């Protein structure tokens, strides 16, 4: 078993009609509740590519291709772990955590909840702190499902190629078969509040790196035994 600080929790076994996404057939766990630690990457790769150093900060300055290679290596060393990028649908589903407001925290956010550029708040909100850097994972409040810093801090690469949404309802969509850019979600420390909305879609070429780009694992499908083990962690939520 891969030993690191990352814990795996949350199941995508509910529907969220407001997002247009329904995630029922593919049960996956979204990793760690937070972006992947720089320390974890350093432990596996032997180096930390992040602009903002510190083991407890999210890893950044990683391309989609870097992340795919990393996932492949961890899976190769740990048969059965089945790590993956979350699909865009899974990401949004987890980010919303049952909400249909612009942010999982409600109609607006403050820098005390989300790490973004507080000089440019969403929808005429109050200005606030602009930290000009990432914050350590788990520094800011969790969403309702125990996930940290989905909105803001670093953009998170998703599995999908980017394209316009198809017409009609989609169930467990995985994006188009090919494309030019990969999806990023969530906004970052550098971006305005508007970009940190749960619904906002960003994309970049899979070879691009930035101190704004990070990722988190998804895991799955998982066995019933593991699902049962994970459930008690959230019985009080
Ligand atoms: Ca994020």
Domain architecture of the chain: domains with CATH: 1-215 (3.90.1580.10)
CA of 116 to the centre of ligand 1 (A): 10
Residue 157 has pLDDT above 60, yes or no: yes
More confident residue, 179 or 12: 179
Residues with CB under 5 A from ligand 1 (ion): 149, 153, 186
CA of 154 to the centre of ligand 1 (A): 4
CA of 150 to the centre of ligand 1 (A): 4
Cα angle: 73, vertex 77, 78; to 5 degrees: 115
pLDDT tier for residue 223 given thresholds of 50, 70 and 90: low
CA of 192 to the centre of ligand 1 (A): 13
The set of residues, in sequence order, having a beta carbon less than 8 Å from that of 168 and lying 6+ positions away, is none
CA of 2 to the centre of ligand 1 (A): 23
More confident residue, 27 or 175: 175
Q: What is the pLDDT of residues 182-206, one digit of tens each?
A: 999 999 999 999 999 998 999 999 9
Helices (H), ranges, 60-219 = 64-77, 88-96
pLDDT of residue 234: 34
CA of 56 to the centre of ligand 1 (A): 14
**How many CB atoms are located within 10 Å of the residue 226 CB?**
14
- Which string of b and e fits 84-95 if b means at least 16 CB within 10 Å? bbbbbbbbbbbb
Share of the chain above pLDDT 70, in %: 71
Q: What is the pLDDT of residues 88-133, one digit of tens each?
A: 888 888 888 888 899 999 999 999 999 999 999 999 999 999 999 9
Tokens coding 231? 């459930």
Please name which of 150, 151, 174 lies closest in space to residue 163, comparing C-alpha atoms.
Answer: 174
Residue 181 has pLDDT above 80, yes or no: yes
Computed over every residue of the chain, the mean pLDDT equals 76
Rounded Cα gap, residues 90 and 88, in angstroms: 5
CA of 175 to the centre of ligand 1 (A): 20
CA of 211 to the centre of ligand 1 (A): 12
Share of the chain above pLDDT 90, in %: 40
Reduced to 3 states, what is the DSSP secondary structure of residue 72? helix
pLDDT of residue 41: 56
CA of 36 to the centre of ligand 1 (A): 10
């Amino acid at each position: 078993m891969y030993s690191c600080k990352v814990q795996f929790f949350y199941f995508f076994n509910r529907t969220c009609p407001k997002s247009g996404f329904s995630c029922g057939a593919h049960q996956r766990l979204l990793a760690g509740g937070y972006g992947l630690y720089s320390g974890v990457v350093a432990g596996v790769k032997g180096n930390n590519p992040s602009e903002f150093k510190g083991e407890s900060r999210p890893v950044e300055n990683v391309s989609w291709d870097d992340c795919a290679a990393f996932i492949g290596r961890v899976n190769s060393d740990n048969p059965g772990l089945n790590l993956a990028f979350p699909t865009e649908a899974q990401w949004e589903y987890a980010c919303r955590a049952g909400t249909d407001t612009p942010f999982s925290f409600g109609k607006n956010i403050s820098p005390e909840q989300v790490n973004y550029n507080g000089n440019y708040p969403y929808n005429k909100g109050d200005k606030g702190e602009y930290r000009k850097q990432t914050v350590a994972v788990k520094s800011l409040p969790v969403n309702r499902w125990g996930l940290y810093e989905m909105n803001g801090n670093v953009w998170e690469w998703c599995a999908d190629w980017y394209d316009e949404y198809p017409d009609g309802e989609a169930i467990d969509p995985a994006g188009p078969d090919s494309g030019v850019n990969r999806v990023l979600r969530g906004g970052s420390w550098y971006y305005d509040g508007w970009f940190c909305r749960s619904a906002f879609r960003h994309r970049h070429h899979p070879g691009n790196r930035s101190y704004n780009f990070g990722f988190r694992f998804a895991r799955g499908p998982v066995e019933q035994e593991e699902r049962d083990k994970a459930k008690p962690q959230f019985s009080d939520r």
